[in-house]
Homo-oligomer: A and B are copies of this chain.
Amino acid sequence: MDNTSLPRRQRERLRHRQEIMDAALRLFSERGYHNVSMQEIADKSEFSIGSLYKFFKNKEDLYRAMVLDRAYVFRDTLMKAIERPGDAVDRMKNYIRAKGEVFAANISMVRLYLEVTSGSRFNLKAGFDEEIQGIYEDFMDRFASVFSEGIEKGLFHASDPYYMALAVEGLTNAFLFLWAEKPERHPYDKIIPFIEHILLEGILTGKARQRILGESGYKAPGS
């Protein structure tokens, strides 16, 4: 990560490149791709417009590089979280917590994450995000395997592990967006137990479960 081996000139170049991407991240995440001009990125990063074009082919290329950069940070963090030792339940909990931490570390990523996982496929030229899409999908597959394991061990009901992963994804997203809007009002820390509880036990009371569902429980659909 820290390119200590390279000649100074190149090291500087990389640092400059990174500075531009950092400025761009902040601007794009606040106002979106089309509402940020190259001029503004130049100003914020304290380079000239011309320089931006030395580092990046064009505006879209800059955006793409920046998003990709962050996607890897994001993916690595979450990957580490679900790879830490423990059973499937632990790993799932690690994911929920780690995701909150990456987001908190850089709140502008909430917005980017949204664009990347659902939004931007529509916004830029088609094919833009194949690589990003790939990163996301690889991760989800790995995450799904956590649930496969949980099922094998008899921890989880036997339904589609990918859907289980997606459920965690969707649930955490919802609360992270809420938190991103009103961080003081909805601290993610406080919400984690709630998320975990829903995922693990659902919202029904024991009494209701018996009344509504009978003792029998759930016939897994799909798988």
A residues sitting closer than 8 Å to B (CB atoms) are 29-35, 89, 111, 114-115, 118-119, 122-124, 147, 150, 154-157, 159-160, 163-164, 166-167, 169-175, 177-178, 190-191, 193-195, 197-209, 212-213, 217-218, 221-222
Contacts and interface: CB of A to CB of B under 8 A. Distances in A.
A193 to B, nearest CB: 5
Q: How many copies does the complex hold?
A: 2
Given A201-B209, A203-B199, A217-B201, A174 B164 contact: no
Given A30-B122, A31-B122, A122-B30, A200 B174 contact: no
A217 B206 contact: yes
**Leading 10 A-B pairs by shortest Cβ distance:** A170-B174, A34-B34, A202-B202, A201-B202, A32-B123, A155-B208, A193-B221, A170-B170, A200-B202, A156-B203
A30 B125 CA distance: 11
B166 A174 contact: yes
A200 B204 contact: yes
A176 to B, nearest CB: 9
